[in-house]
A and B are shown apart, each in its own frame.
Chain A
Amino acid sequence: MIAGKTFRELRWMALAYLLILEGLCVPVLLWWPDIYAELQRSSLGDKLPFDFARKIFEAVRETDPGIAYRNWVAVMLFFRSTNLVGVAAAVLFGTGLFARERENLTFEFLLSRPIARGAILWQKLWPAALCTTVPLFLVNASALYWSHCVEETLPIPELFLATLHAAVFLLFVLTLTTWVSLRLRVQAHVAAAVGALLVLQIGVYLTQRIRVFSLFRLVDFEWYAPVLAGNTPLWQMLDPVRSHGFTTWLLLATSACVLLTWRDLRRAVP
């Protein structure tokens, strides 16, 4: 029941999110041949302000068009769309999960139903998680078709692994926002708090010396490009001892957020 209601609340926003993601994906893939030709002639790379931007510029004008295309997908679908639209959607979906209940004075009603608080959390979280991640998989799957239209190919396993990592990152943002949504009682405060944290993280990312401390280091071009190129197999994504294991770190952070939310929900007083 709670899951159904949560899904009803999010479904139109999820559809809009899907359309925006697809709307951002289609043109950049269909215009790729022209863009690639332009990039070959351009000297813009030297004028770019950030070192990571210069790296991206060089990567997408690789002399091998196949490698350049994968780098382009890593930049546009993952580094851009997921980190902007996906993160915004995760924050939007997570913000209202509990704060809206408090604002509408339905929190006490919900807590007083004969249902365990863990079940309340689970039934709120999984529809939100699906609404956050399924559009990502759908849009990235559609990229296979759009790539075919411009006579390019994307490797399905690598595309799936990159999407999986992006989905885990969005789940982390969603669960973090859900936790904040339980701690703070007003949706605007939740959005402001999480938004401020993300802006700070972007600021850290843009500062080269401290970039390693940014959350976005886990989901930037330098992470996705090797994954799409097939140079980061699944075990390297997951193994934090012998490799970076960024996916595992994100999974652990997501689990920590879920546990914190569960702990606070158990203690919550209307």
Chain B
Amino acid sequence: MTAAVLVDGLCVGFGPREVLRRVDLQVGTGELLGLIGPNGAGKSTLLRTLVGLVPRQAGAVQVVGRDPAREPLAVRRTTSYLPGEAGVYLQLSGAQFLDFALGFHRHLDRARQQRLQERFALPLQQKVRSYSAGMKQKLMLLATLVPDVELYLLDEPDRALDASVRFQLRDELLAMQSAGKTIVLSSHHLGEVEALADRLVFLLDGAFVPETRLAAARATLRRRPRVRLRPGHDVPAGATLVHREADDTLVVATDGDPMDWLRGLPAGVVDSAEIGIPRLEDLYQLLLQQGEARS
């Protein structure tokens, strides 16, 4: 698999503030990569650098075989970028905006356009001014996904979208990926990114979390059972509460082997238990906690 994106030792900063610190990344052609990280971690800056909007201080970047700093126009002709905080021209109608946005691209996928327009059901003849936040985002998605390019860089494409549209978007992205398109997306809907992406990378404080640290975090999470206790019971001895979820599921850290701890519990205490399956949300939270502890 050839690399659609190749980043080597990328450093980006604004004045004295370092936003990206020696970032390395490789995205294969046809891969769907999920970019995860808290606000301010550098996800948007990374995507902007890939499309040549932000200058880099050090490192090498190749996007579809070209350097976006030297050939930004050539890179933008082969990529389609959805900005994270994109506004739309309120004085235009949806159709006018779409004509404007798509007019910059040489090749369009009209079938995809037809399909997405039907799925999103936007009132394209109305002024964008009258659109809700979700409708504006759908319009931006149309403007980004219809160009027939090699690489799609999507900064929080699911922003302001309801669950049903997010599912439609997921189906479309999977269809695009199966057609050989490369997609890099950042999102805060962790569960959906996990289900969608071939691979996830975590960006924390301007640097990717190394595989070894990820593996250690996953190992830690495997030792943290998720249990639902029957009413009236506290966390049994041999474990400490890590956090309580909205549905009263408890995530606990056991002193020893979690299986032994579960087996040793008296009957009638635990309603249900889940062990050995680290969830993305938990992994994300643990990495954030570790990051905060380090800083």
Q: Is B167 an interface residue (CB 8 A)?
A: no
Q: In the complex, which residues 86-117 of chain A have their Cβ closer than 8 Å to any Cβ of chain B?
A: 104-106, 108-109, 111-116
Q: What bracket does the count of chain B residues touching chain A fall in? A: 20 to 34
- Complex Cα spacing A114 to B147, Å: 11
Q: Is B103 an interface residue (CB 8 A)?
A: yes
Q: In the complex, which residues 93-108 of chain B have their Cβ closer than 8 Å to any Cβ of chain A?
A: 100-101, 103-105
Say yes or no: A114-B76 contact (C-beta < 8 A), given A105-B87, A106-B89. Answer: yes
Tell me which of B83, B92, B103 contacts A112 (CB under 8 A): B83
Q: Is A5 an interface residue (CB 8 A)?
A: yes
Tell me which of B51, B53, B76, B88 contacts A106 (CB under 8 A): B88
Say yes or no: A108-B76 contact (C-beta < 8 A), given A9-B91, A270-B48. Answer: no
The residue on B at minimum CB distance from A108 is B83
Say yes or no: A115-B104 contact (C-beta < 8 A), given A270-B48, A270-B53. Answer: yes
Binary interface encoding of chain B residues 42-78 relative to chain A, with 1 for a CB under 8 A from any of its CBs, else 0 = 0000001001011100000000000000000100110
- Complex Cα spacing A116 to B54, Å: 15
Q: Is B267 an interface residue (CB 8 A)?
A: no
Tell me which of A9, A109, A115, A269 contacts B86 (CB under 8 A): A109
- Complex Cα spacing A116 to B92, Å: 23
Cβ–Cβ contact B77 & A269, under 8 A: no
A152 to chain B, nearest CB (A): 44
> How many residue-residue contacts, CB under 8 A, span A and B?
57
Q: Is A210 an interface residue (CB 8 A)?
A: no
Cβ–Cβ contact A1 & B83, under 8 A: no
B96 to chain A, nearest CB (A): 8
Q: What chain B residues lie within 8 Å of A9 (beta carbons)?
A: 91
Residues of B within 8 A of A (CB): 14, 48, 51, 53-55, 73, 76-77, 81, 83, 85-92, 100-101, 103-105, 140
Kindly list 18 other residue pairs between chains A and B, CB separation below 8 angstroms, not including A1-B103, A115-B73.
A1-B104, A104-B87, A104-B88, A104-B90, A105-B87, A108-B48, A108-B83, A109-B86, A113-B101, A114-B76, A114-B77, A114-B104, A114-B105, A116-B73, A269-B54, A270-B53, A270-B54, A270-B83
Q: Pick 21 A–B contacts, CB within 8 A, sort by A.
A: A5-B100, A8-B91, A9-B91, A104-B87, A106-B86, A106-B88, A109-B83, A109-B86, A109-B88, A112-B51, A112-B53, A112-B83, A113-B76, A113-B104, A114-B104, A115-B76, A116-B73, A269-B14, A269-B53, A270-B48, A270-B53
